[in-house]
Amino acid sequence: MEYLGHLIEEKCSQKLWNPVKSSQGGLFFSHVMFADDVVLFAKADQGNCVAIRDALDTFCSRTGQTISEAKSRVFFSPNVDRDTRQALCGVLGFASNPNLGKYLRIPIKHTGSPMDVNFILDRVKQKLAGWKANLLSPAGRTVLIQASSSTIPTYVMQCALLPNKILEGIDRVNRNFLWGSSETARKIHWVVWNKVTKPKKVGGLGLQSAKGRNIALLTKLNWRLHTENDSLWARVIKAKYCSTRRINSRNPSSLPCSQTWKGIKKAQIYSGKELDG
């Protein structure tokens, strides 16, 4: 994959490949790689698509690797007309798709609607449904909540503020499992959840509430944004949401933003780290 990166950089240096900007005045992107997944960025025209196809063909011929056309898709800007899309797809050899889909169950591109995270609550329910709470001691149930169900939404919580409905649902499922309640049999909850989620040294069980865990992870992300100044993701976020043009707009808070930035802004209230934008 490193060799493919060199091929792409060579095309860009020769002005054959025009990368795209993350925002006005932001960084240019030509590709992003993670493991064996590659996302390519370029201006939607004939020249760029020929350069992309040439780089991919060169990489495959010299390494012996092949591209999975069934798993590869092209995503165009809404400004690109239908005829142009068909012509460019013919050059690239990949089909067009209006939806980027999901990566690790998280939607890659968010529209104006809230991010669909209902799958998190469903996964927690399915996980706990496979265990028979009546056969476990309260201590055993506590360990399972800490080690399993509480960690399922962690990945999403690190980059987005989940809706209160989802957070409350996760707490409800964990709470019912702790006390042995189910849809058919209701058990008494002898201690309120606010006390259960307190640290052990003050009388709680050390469990974390879903909202507390979400805020803690976003606060950590906010801290990383302030300390990892040279990291690529921090530079992209700051260039997009902390630019002078955005700050000087009439109402910066009303401008559209990503779920990640919304989460960081929410975490600022708790961390005391204020950012403009």
pLDDT tens, residue order, the chain (277 aa)? 788 889 999 999 999 999 998 887 788 989 988 877 888 999 999 999 999 999 999 999 998 888 888 888 899 988 899 999 999 999 998 988 887 777 766 777 655 555 677 888 888 888 777 676 667 788 888 888 888 777 788 888 888 888 899 999 999 988 888 888 777 778 888 889 889 899 989 888 888 899 989 999 999 999 999 899 889 889 988 888 887 777 666 666 667 778 888 888 888 877 654 444 4
Q: Strands 73-74 and 95-96, how do they pair?
A: parallel
Contact at 8 Å (CB) between 210 and 153? yes
Contact at 8 Å (CB) between 14 and 48? no
Q: Is 128 strand, coil or helix?
A: helix
- Cα–Cα dist 196/181, whole Å: 16
**DSSP for 168-213?**
HHHHHHHHHHHHT--SS------S-HHHHTS-GGGTS-----HHHH
- Cα–Cα dist 98/90, whole Å: 16
Contact at 8 Å (CB) between 159 and 103? no
Contact at 8 Å (CB) between 124 and 166? no
Q: Is 72 left (phi over 0), alpha (psi -120 to 50) or beta?
A: beta
Q: How confident is the model at residue 149, as a pLDDT?
A: 76
pTM above 0.85, yes or no: no
Tell me whether residue 72 is exposed, middle or buried, using C-beta atoms within 10 angstroms of its C-beta: 0 to 12, 13 to 18, 19 or more.
middle
- Cα–Cα dist 166/172, whole Å: 10
